[in-house]
């Protein structure tokens, strides 16, 4: 790869012979035969970079072992390219925070930041539950608070039905109340979404 190609790569550009690279207002043209990187603006070429003897390169009037500056890209393209998401025209991120994702809002035509709700489900087995299985107790507490309406209770492998007049009710944010009291040999499992 020639030094000009390296510079083009550093400018985040890739070109084959005579390929034209488009920017917002100008065209960058790299000619693989001459090794020149030119800026076409208003139908005139401006030489941006060319190889010189000994493999040393000139770039934007600087000669020698050229190190690209942030202003080189701005100068070459005629505008400052966006370097963060919020600088893009179709992205709105007023106050980003950890764990957020981007989603597209078709009403506004914008990508927007949002915080997904990934509330985890938890399973409490006999040993995680508080409440005695003694044939008379019907109230059992989960090890964490749950989101109302998310509990699934299993007694000896059979799923019970939630609701008044059925097998159990949610008696709070961490307690269920069974219609029938389990005995010590019964296996009780409660699944729920953590609140």
Instruction: Return the closest-CA partner of residue 105 out of 87, 95, 92, 117.
Output: 92
Secondary structure of residue 113 in the 3-state scheme: strand
* CA-to-CA separations, 76 to 4, 59, 68, 105, 136, in angstroms, rounded: 14, 10, 11, 34, 82
Range with the lowest mean pLDDT among 21-25, 37-41, 73-77, 163-167?
21-25
pLDDT tens digits, 107-121? 988 888 888 776 688
Q: Evaluate if residue 166 carries a pLDDT over 70.
A: yes
Instruction: Give first-to-last CA distance, the chain, whole Å.
Output: 57
pLDDT of residue 19: 39
Residue 20 pLDDT > 50? no
| Helix (H) / strand (E) containing 15 | none
- The structure tokens 């934007």 sit at 60
Q: Does the structure show a pLDDT above 50 at 157?
A: yes
Sign of CA dihedral 27, 33, 34, 36: positive
């Amino acid at each position: 790869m020639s030094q000009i190609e390296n510079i083009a790569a550093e400018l985040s550009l890739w070109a084959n012979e005579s390929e034209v690279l488009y920017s917002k207002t100008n065209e960058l043209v790299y000619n693989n035969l001459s090794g020149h990187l030119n800026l076409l603006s208003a139908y005139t070429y401006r030489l941006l970079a060319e190889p010189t003897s000994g493999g040393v390169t000139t770039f934007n009037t600087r000669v020698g072992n050229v190190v690209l500056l942030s202003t080189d890209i701005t100068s070459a393209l005629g505008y400052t390219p966006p370097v963060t998401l919020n600088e893009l025209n179709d992205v709105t991120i007023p106050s980003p925070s950890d764990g957020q994702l981007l989603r597209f809002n078709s009403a506004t035509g914008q990508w927007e930041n949002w915080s997904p709700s990934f509330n985890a489900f938890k399973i409490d087995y006999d040993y995680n539950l508080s409440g005695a299985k003694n044939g008379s107790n019907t109230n059992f507490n989960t090890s964490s608070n749950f989101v109302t309406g998310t509990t699934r209770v299993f007694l000896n492998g059979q799923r019970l039905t939630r609701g008044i007049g059925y097998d159990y009710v949610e008696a709070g944010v961490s307690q269920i109340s069974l219609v029938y009291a389990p005995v010590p040999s019964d296996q009780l499992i409660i699944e729920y979404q953590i609140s």
